[in-house]
Structure 1
């Protein structure tokens, strides 16, 4: 093999590697982006206080993602299961602990009790298949929220 052919082969291999990596990075993901675990004020279990406790999930893919059957769970195994719901590309949805009317940007767990511990906990987002999509943990009683 002459030197020109060897350089061409090397350049093609490098180009193929870049083409393989770039689409995977550009694909994005559906992931946890924030947990607001210590709602303001005293823990009165009022619906307003319960709804000030929430988790934000963001879709950074290039297409809408059907979250039907996906589950959000805490370390104590409290589960929120998505009913029929599509998260648009580049959008976020907030899962509030209390009750409310579901919209494209806000969903409601429907719990009368707090889900997220004020000192430490772990959120896990699972696909309908049960495969773990993302996790986010915190261990800080002095804060009220964590970016994932």
Structure 2
């Protein structure tokens, strides 16, 4: 293989001419293409960033709404608990009133029964007293005398 300097010079000139022609013909369109592509990619990145910011904003809004809904739920639960407690207190108060009324009625019935039993006992004691007194006196005591004597006897008992 032999090296000829003229051939080497021709190769160098060919490469230089080819470089200049390619640069003049292809450089500007390729540079415009690459610039447009870089601009499109930049626009897409900017749009993606905008969409990301919008998504984050929407996410924050939904979180705020969710937090508000949770707080409203808690408030509703607290209000319902308060209402239930008040209702329970009202039911308890009503039950106390009713039980007091029933207790008062029972006391009244007991008092009336006691009075009736006392009257019955007075009558029976009077009958027994009359029987005993008539046996002792061997005579009949009138009912009016009997009632007067028993009433006096029980008045004396009550005052003691």
Alignment TM-score, normalising by the size of structure 2 = 0.27
Greater relative contact order (Cα < 8 A, sep 6+): 1
Larger Rg: 2
**Richer in helix (by share):** 2
Alignment TM-score, normalising by the size of structure 1 = 0.28
**Richer in strand (by share):** 1
